[in-house]
């Protein structure tokens, strides 16, 4: 954090900075937007600047104002424009953005994305996801992706989150600064009113693009902006400032809850298999269940459950009999309970019972979503093996055992959850001699082969990332 003296110095030096004859002198303190950005830039983390530039009014004001700050140019100021290809005029908009950036002497990268036309999230959400993926992919390490969201955008976000039943994190709205893919997402104008940006455009005679989608009342935000917000402002003219204050207070509360949730998650999590203590999670205060569950799922690269799904999961867990396996799926995320633990995995369709592939030791994706590999990805087998699905009623004799066992018995002894058992592969020699059941059990032939090769098997079920292999090629021991 910069000292007050440093900030005062930064404020003074930006009043009369010079960019050369093309631009002339930067405006004095009367140009509020440039002054605000100069002060915010002095407080921001160091790193190159990449401005998300749609060509619309807000991003045009932001980019133009930054272009007039030498300290912004010194950070490698660059614009990023995403062409979604969803509007007939998108090519024309891209050309106008290129023209504007050329006029302001700001380099621009044109990013074209393909937005899926179908999906459960809807076209608007899909376009937003594609846009952010493209923008963050072009962000240098330690860079700042600069967005033009302002005070009214924040107020709209808080209202929409409130209507959707969000908790403190959602009601905190957009963050002024947050980490993203090795860099930062920075919104320097979040406390700045929309009217100031429009005034800046008028002052500098900047023609911005007006996207007709912003006036489409079928979109929730557009409807709120056109129909609801004017009524609110008529009765509560300070609504935007008030909702901004609410957002800041909720962010403080959300940060405190997240810190508490991290501590609780540490107590409930099994680091070996990534499962969560079911009774412990249900016993948490209601306000902590959501952030603990969300953190757990995010750590596993999965989508968090919404409020209704989380409530359904809690009811299913509380009502389930001891022999039942409660399950809840949202999109590609599946949460199940078994033997007092919660398991979270990415959903995959059933593998079937007739698949077989030849294996040379390179990591191989299995039909059920798992992975079979050796303990080192650089190792390879000196021979070809078959990897196939298990067969109903199949038996094998573990190394060192006098009698054969059913696969069901071996799975139970190894505590493999029931839904993963059909995806566990059989590894066999080319002549059909069974060598192993995943990395759970080796036969006599398997022990001899893998020991002679100096390798271990590693079966990673869907969603399970930890290596369970132990020295000697087996991840689990099955007792007599």
Token pair recorded at residue 295 = 């953190």
What confidence score (pLDDT) does residue 5 get?
A: 39
DSSP category for residue 377: T
Q: CA quadruple 206, 211, 216, 219: dihedral positive or negative?
A: negative
Q: Where do the domains of the chain lie?
A: 4-247, 269-346, 356-460
The torsion region of residue 306 among left (phi > 0), alpha (psi -120 to 50) and beta comes to: beta
For domain 4-247, give the CATH number.
3.40.50.620
Topology of the domain covering 269-346: Chorismate Mutase Domain, subunit A (1.20.59)
- Euclidean distance between CA atoms 412 and 476, whole angstroms: 12
* Residues 456-469 pLDDT 10s: 999 988 744 443 33
DSSP letters along 152-211, please? HHHHHHHHHHHHTT--HHHHT-S-SEEEETTEEEE-TTTTS-HHHHHHHHHHTT------
* Residues 378-407 pLDDT 10s: 677 888 999 999 988 899 999 999 999 999
What confidence score (pLDDT) does residue 146 get?
A: 98
What confidence score (pLDDT) does residue 121 get?
A: 62
* Residues 236-254 pLDDT 10s: 999 999 999 999 999 999 9
The torsion region of residue 220 among left (phi > 0), alpha (psi -120 to 50) and beta comes to: alpha
The 3-state DSSP class for residue 337 equals: strand
State the residue for tokens 């809690």.
314
What confidence score (pLDDT) does residue 79 get?
A: 97
pLDDT < 50 regions, the chain: 1-30, 463-480
Query: CB–CB of 455/373 below 8 Å?
Result: no
């Amino acid at each position: 954090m910069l000292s007050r003296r440093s900030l005062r110095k930064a404020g003074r030096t930006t009043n009369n900075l010079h960019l050369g004859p093309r631009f002339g002198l930067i405006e004095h303190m009367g140009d509020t937007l440039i002054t605000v950005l100069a002060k915010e830039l002095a407080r921001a983390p160091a790193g190159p600047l990449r401005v998300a530039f749609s060509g619309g009014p807000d991003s045009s004001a932001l980019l133009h104002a930054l272009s007039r700050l030498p300290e912004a140019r010194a950070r490698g100021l660059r614009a990023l424009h995403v062409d979604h290809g969803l509007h007939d005029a998108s090519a024309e908009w891209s050309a106008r953005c290129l023209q504007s950036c050329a006029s302001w002497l700001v380099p621009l990268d044109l990013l074209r994305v393909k937005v899926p036309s179908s999906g459960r999230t809807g076209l608007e959400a899909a376009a937003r996801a594609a846009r952010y993926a493209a923008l963050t992919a072009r962000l240098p390490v330690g860079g700042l992706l600069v967005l033009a969201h302002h005070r009214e955008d924040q107020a709209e976000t808080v209202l929409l989150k409130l209507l959707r039943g969000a908790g403190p994190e959602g009601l905190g709205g957009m963050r002024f600064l947050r980490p993203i893919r090795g860099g930062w997402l920075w919104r320097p104008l979040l406390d700045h009113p929309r009217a100031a940006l429009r005034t800046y455009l008028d002052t500098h005679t900047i023609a911005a693009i007006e996207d007709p989608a912003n006036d489409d009342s079928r979109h929730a935000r557009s409807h709120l902006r056109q129909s609801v917000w004017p009524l609110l402002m008529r009765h509560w003219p300070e609504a935007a400032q008030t909702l901004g204050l609410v957002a800041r207070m909720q962010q403080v509360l959300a940060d405190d809850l997240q810190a508490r949730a991290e501590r609780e998650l540490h107590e409930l999590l099994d680091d070996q298999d990534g499962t969560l203590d079911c009774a412990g999670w249900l016993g948490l205060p209601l306000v902590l269940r959501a952030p603990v569950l969300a953190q757990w799922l995010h750590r596993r690269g999965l989508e968090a459950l919404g409020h209704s799904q989380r409530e359904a999961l809690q009811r299913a867990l509380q009502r389930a009999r001891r022999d039942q396996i409660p399950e809840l799926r949202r999109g590609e995320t599946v949460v199940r309970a078994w033997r007092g633990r919660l398991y979270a995995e990415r959903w995959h369709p059933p593998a079937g019972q007739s698949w077989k592939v030849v294996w040379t030791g390179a990591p191989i994706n299995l039909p059920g979503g798992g992975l079979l590999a050796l303990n080192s990805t650089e190792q390879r087998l000196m021979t070809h093996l078959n990897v196939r699905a298990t067969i109903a009623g199949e038996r094998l004799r573990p190394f060192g055992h006098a009698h054969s066992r059913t696969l069901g018995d071996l799975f139970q002894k190894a505590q493999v959850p029931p839904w993963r058992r059909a995806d566990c592969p059989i590894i066999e020699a080319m002549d059909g001699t069974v060598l192993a059941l995943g990395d759970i059990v080796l036969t006599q032939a398997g022990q001899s082969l893998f020991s002679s090769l100096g390798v271990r098997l590693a079966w990673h079920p869907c969603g399970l990332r930890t290596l369970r292999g132990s020295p000697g090629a087996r991840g689990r021991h099955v007792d007599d």
